[in-house]
Structure 1
Amino acid sequence: MNELVSVVVPVYKVEPYLERCIRSIIGQTYENLEIILVDDGSPDQCGAICDRFAQEDSRVKVYHKTNGGTSDARNYGVKHSHGMYITFVDADDYIAPEYTAYLLKLLTKYKADISCCCLEKTTSNTMSYEINAAIPKELLLTGKESCQKLFGDLYDVLVTVWGKLFRSEIVKQYPFPVGRRYEDEAIVGKYYYAASRVVVGGRCLYAYYQNTNSFMHNQPTTISEDAIWAFAHRAKFFEEHNERRLAEMAWNFLLNYLIRDSLANQGRCDSYINSFDNGKSLDFKTRVAVKLYNVSPYIYKMCLKVYCGLYNTITGLKNGRQ
């Protein structure tokens, strides 16, 4: 394959990490790239760094705009992209030299619309790029199966928009929600739903740098309205498409998030839990969890502790017999 791949990088206040990120993209073994750097009104030297790389490499395209947030910057980059495929990289992260080639190979091999690699959290400037032991072989899923896995054992792999290669028409169909955090949670399920085939590879080729200054490492001390909005937005999307099972899984995810948050933060989400429309489709376990929590958070925690203990015991016995 020699199709053009657009790499979209939103840039804002990441001066210490930006050069590392850009060099990892320029150094890809697959060279037919359009590298789109969107300077989202960064007040530091990020804009100048982007411009310098544009002078060094003709594949680098730089756009300077007023600050609008990560979603707005990504939308801007997608709008100005020309590739058959699009991948997203955050400017404080970096990727392995074979990242693009690997994802393209997966797409071609399985005739898929989306390919995914695994991530590895790091605080280092270099990585060994190991295999994810939980995914010893490549997984081929339908779009709906990917949506189901988004609420299960592949959540960490599937939930982000980075670490993926998408057919551009899928990305352009669903813009990111401007002005919202947790935009990946709100949007990525739509991408999978629009795909016929999704392939997941076990190689960890995306370095998720643990930047202590990033939003994800500086969570607000108040209720995260954006998280609640994103989880509800995802559930409503599946409802609108008459996907009852997927909607149920999405509403379950939201309710369990609210309960965990309230348990950890002195009941700050109790009003959301109490006002939740019980007409929504929920599975039996979540309905029981909500009822127990409403009776007493203490009783809920004790029952959860017993449940987890029994689950671990049964799982250990099963593994012992294998």
Structure 2
Amino acid sequence: MNKEENLVSVIVNVYNCERYLEKCLTSIICQSYKKLEIILIDDGSIDSSGLICDKYEELDQRIMVVHQENKGLPYSRNLGLDIAKGDYITFVDCDDWIEENFLSVLMSNMSEDVEISIALKRNVFENDRKDNIIKDSSTIEIIKDDKDKIQLITKRYKMWETWGKVYKRRLFEIHRFSHGILFEDIQIVPLLLLEAKAVSFIPEQLYNYLHRKNSASYKKGTSKDIIVPATKSLDIIAATYSKEGYQECCIFYYTLLLQFSKKKESIDQFSDAKRFLITHKLSPFLWNAWAEKSYEVFLFCYFTGYWFKRNSNSKKLNNK
């Protein structure tokens, strides 16, 4: 199968990114892989982002622009999927950019069984500092084992975002983005990986991820923002996929939940976090996953509970 004959749909959610958008769009239209449709969803931008989208639509006939009221990232991505005609799908955030060979390399590593192709990201900061990821391998890998698929984006590399990957279209006929949640990526990406027959991993930094102060960030979340997508995902995984995939996803969600639960914005939600941890401890085949995190979970439940009770008592005394 000649990969150059396959149409790739590039979906870009655009929201108030006038400063970065032209660099993003230029990187897409200049791809060495030419058979593209580029879908720009202007999600109610109040700066000049919408006008920039329209300008690029006039410049390149492969670009389609949709303007809508602000409905959020999951809705916009689903709308892009509804519009997309491509055999393959990729997502680019409007403040990021991709290397010229991003799609050529990822598409050359797709096959009948390989349904997701993943490249490494490069972390870029607004002061032009760049962080190169330390690779644990320099060889392209084809991964079929569910445990190894999940560990690729969790333990080996932190790459659970939707972008930086090319997907076969059929995967999104099974799983879509959930509306009304903050971290939609941590719900859908594990599901897509487990659904894929195989995944290719290319150890090249082909996606440039810009860290900026006013962008959507995991720093803004609380423990509840982890619990909601994690619960949705685990319910599906437990009913549909392997116990190894389920176990690795639980470890992933435990790690994120413990990280966010230690923030002061999450302290009132510690009982919800504890309930989630206990519930999934009792889920089938999960003893190994629980054992791996049990000491950290114990410390969290003890010290967070102690902190919460101590501060609640202090408030009561101060109110007397």
TM range (shorter): 0.7 to 0.9
Residue matched to 1:75: 78
Q: After superposition, where does 1:1-322 map in structure 2 within 5 Å?
A: 1-108=4-111, 112-123=114-125, 133-142=135-144, 144-150=146-152, 152-157=154-159, 159-216=160-217, 219-220=220-221, 223-241=222-240, 243-265=242-264, 267-275=267-275, 276-277=278-279, 278-280=281-283, 281-283=286-288, 284-296=291-303
How far does the alpha carbon of each residue in 1:112-166 deviate from its partner, in whole angstroms, 9 at most, with x for none?
1111100001026989997853231111101624543256433413x11111111
Structure 1 residue runs without a partner (length 5+): 300-322
Go from structure 1 to structure 2 and tell me whether the alpha carbon gap of 1:273 and 1:3 turns closer, same or farther (over 3 Å shift). Answer: closer
Go from structure 1 to structure 2 and tell me whether the alpha carbon gap of 1:54 and 1:45 turns closer, same or farther (over 3 Å shift). Answer: same
What's the offset of the Cα at 1:40?
Answer: 1.0
Q: CA RMSD in A?
A: 2.8
Cα separation, 2, equivalents of 1:219 and 1:74: 21
Cα separation, 2, equivalents of 1:24 and 1:111: 29
What's the offset of the Cα at 1:225?
Answer: 2.2
What's the offset of the Cα at 1:255?
Answer: 3.3
How far does the alpha carbon of each residue in 1:15-74 deviate from its partner, in whole angstroms, 9 at most, with x for none?
111111001101111111101001111122111111110001101111112211011111
What's the offset of the Cα at 1:12?
Answer: 0.8
Secondary structure of the structure 1 residue equivalent to 2:93: coil
Percent identical: 28
Contact 1:249 1:282 in 2 (8 A): no
What's the offset of the Cα at 1:287?
Answer: 3.3
Secondary structure of the structure 2 residue equivalent to 1:247: helix
Residue matched to 1:309: none
Secondary structure of the structure 1 residue equivalent to 2:47: coil
Secondary structure of the structure 1 residue equivalent to 2:137: coil
Cα separation, 1, equivalents of 2:116 and 2:293: 31
Contact 2:224 2:269 in 1 (8 A): no
Go from structure 1 to structure 2 and tell me whether the alpha carbon gap of 1:76 and 1:262 turns closer, same or farther (over 3 Å shift). Answer: closer
> Which amino acid is 1:66 matched to?
E
Aligned residues: 295
What's the offset of the Cα at 1:197?
Answer: 1.3
What's the offset of the Cα at 1:5?
Answer: 0.7
How far does the alpha carbon of each residue in 1:206-251 deviate from its partner, in whole angstroms, 9 at most, with x for none?
000112111116515xx34222211222222211115323223333
> Which amino acid is 2:176 matched to?
P
> Which amino acid is 2:297 matched to?
V
> Which amino acid is 1:91 matched to?
C
Cα separation, 1, equivalents of 2:302 and 2:142: 43
TM-score by length of 1: 0.82
Contact 1:163 1:206 in 2 (8 A): yes
Cα separation, 2, equivalents of 1:252 and 1:129: 26
